[in-house]
Amino acid sequence: MSRIWKAIVMFVMWRTGGLRRHPTATARDPSERHTGAPAWAERLVALLLLLIPIAAVVFVALFTLHPNTQLLGLALGVTLALLAAALVLAGRWLVPQETKVEQRPQLADPEMTQQVREQAAAGMEGVTRRRLLTGAAGAAGAGLTAAVVIPVVALGPGLEEQLRRTPWRTGRALVDEQGNPILATDVIERSFLTAFPQHADEEDLGSPVVVVRVDPMTLKLPPERAGWAPEGILAYSKICTHAACAISLFRDPLSPSTESKGPALVCPCHYSTFDVLDGGSVEFGPAGRPLPQLPLKIDAAGVLRAAGPMSGPVGPSWWGDPS
């Protein structure tokens, strides 16, 4: 066992270069200073510096005549790289190479600390009821904080109306992004449509629904939702009840890895997976609430219409939210 450890440790040491000697402490003063720039270094730094205006002119010419992103980046990048090379070479070869020892400052001077502490304490000299005053100051701070914060919380009561409204009403037609009504025949099995309430704001979180068609025989809707899925056509809110992403994946049961499972709607953000057949219950992932279902009906013209409001609140929850 210890051999294995030794082998692992040696491998790590070898990879990280840790085989060097542990630095030892010596009394020797490490200060040193070497001067005298080699001639080649002076010429090389001068050459690099002289190339910079040339590269800079290329950049300016490109910027005015042919502002191509790649060429601009190359020209400016090369200019800066030349500058970097010149500076590093100058720092390493031209100027004196020096190792210095600096004494670290003692941060606290105990005598001074004591004096300042006494001076600070003297600021309360003659005040007898310190505890009362400290408590009162604390109460003042807490009151002030509350006065500033409570108006935010006071937004709460009207919140449900604001956060839960949807434009879905009984009889509203389902339309596509361009506003064209969606016919029952437009919805085919294993595909996936996004629909909105007719004449409503598409950007409203309460609007978008996903429409899918399944084999009516496979439906497992709760009894009170019987009739919500005419011809096996189902509509669910497209906004994930976890963190408001758009549910844009429809798990196709034909995929070999999932063929044992039924069709499900999946949110690409955090993989909340909602069972389509049983009313949008959470099958997998972090969502805490089922996906709200929109009851559907098919009118005489074959257009899909809402048969009632959403079955539950749309979008994520908050503290105190009645759901």
Partner 1 sequence: MSGAHQHAKDPVTFVDERLGAARGLRFLMDYVFPDDWSFLLGEIALYSFIVLILTGTFLALFFDPDTTPVLYHGSYQALQGQSVSGAYASTLHISFNVSGGLLARQIHHWAALVFVAAITLHLLRIVFTGAFRKPRDINYFIGVTLLALAILEGFAGYSLPDDLLSGMGLAIAWGVAMSLPLIGGPFATALWGGRFPGSTAFESRLFIAHVFLLPAIIGGLIAVHLAIIMRQRHSQFPGPGRREDNVVGTPMWPGYALRSLGLFAAVAAVLVLMGGLIQINPVWLWGPYHPYIGTNGAQPDWYLGWLIGALRLMPNLEIHAFGHTLVPNPFFGGVLFPGLLFGLLYALPWLDRRFISRDYRRHDLLERPRDNPRRSALAAAVLSAVTVVFAAGSADRLFFQFGFGYEGAVWFFRGAFLLVPVLVFVLTKRVCEQLGRERSYPLRGWSGTVVQRNSRGGFEATPDGDLLSPPEASPESSASRL
Site for partner 1 in 209-238 (CB under 8 A): 238
Asked if residue 3 binds partner 1 (CB under 8 A), the reply is: no
**How many chain residues are in contact with partner 1, going by CB under 8 A?**
109
The CA distance from 202 to 213, in Å, is 22
Asked if residue 34 binds partner 1 (CB under 8 A), the reply is: no
Query: Among 253, 285, 309, 312, which residue sits at the site for partner 1 (rule: CB under 8 A)?
Result: 285
Asked if residue 300 binds partner 1 (CB under 8 A), the reply is: no
Asked if residue 96 binds partner 1 (CB under 8 A), the reply is: yes
**SS3 (DSSP) at 59:** helix
Scanning 114-122, 195-203, 214-222, 300-308 for contacts with partner 1 by CB under 8 A, the matching segment is 195-203
Asked if residue 254 binds partner 1 (CB under 8 A), the reply is: no
Cβ-based nearer residue to partner 1, 22 or 131: 22
Amino acid at 70: Q
**42-51: long-range contacts, CB 8 A cutoff, minimum separation 24:** 42/94, 44/89, 45/86, 45/89, 45/90, 45/93, 45/94, 48/82, 48/83, 48/85, 48/86, 48/89, 49/82, 49/86, 51/82
Supply the minimum distance, in Å, between the C-beta of residue 301 and partner 1: 25
**246-253: long-range contacts, CB 8 A cutoff, minimum separation 24:** 246/208, 247/210, 247/272, 247/274, 247/291, 250/190, 250/191, 250/192, 250/210, 250/212, 252/190
Supply the minimum distance, in Å, between the C-beta of residue 131 and partner 1: 27
Asked if residue 46 binds partner 1 (CB under 8 A), the reply is: no
Supply the minimum distance, in Å, between the C-beta of residue 316 and partner 1: 4
Cβ-based nearer residue to partner 1, 85 or 298: 85
Asked if residue 199 binds partner 1 (CB under 8 A), the reply is: no
Query: Among 53, 77, 141, 222, which residue sits at the site for partner 1 (rule: CB under 8 A)?
Result: 77
Query: Residue 56 carries which DSSP code?
Result: H
Site string for partner 1, 145-184 (x = CB under 8 A): ----x--xxxxx--x--xx---------------------
Residue 259 Cα to chain centre, angstroms: 33
Asked if residue 126 binds partner 1 (CB under 8 A), the reply is: no
The CA distance from 294 to 196, in Å, is 11
The structure tokens listed for 265 are: 């709607």
Spatial neighbors of 82 by CB under 8 A, at least 6 apart, are 48, 49, 51, 52, 55
Asked if residue 124 binds partner 1 (CB under 8 A), the reply is: no
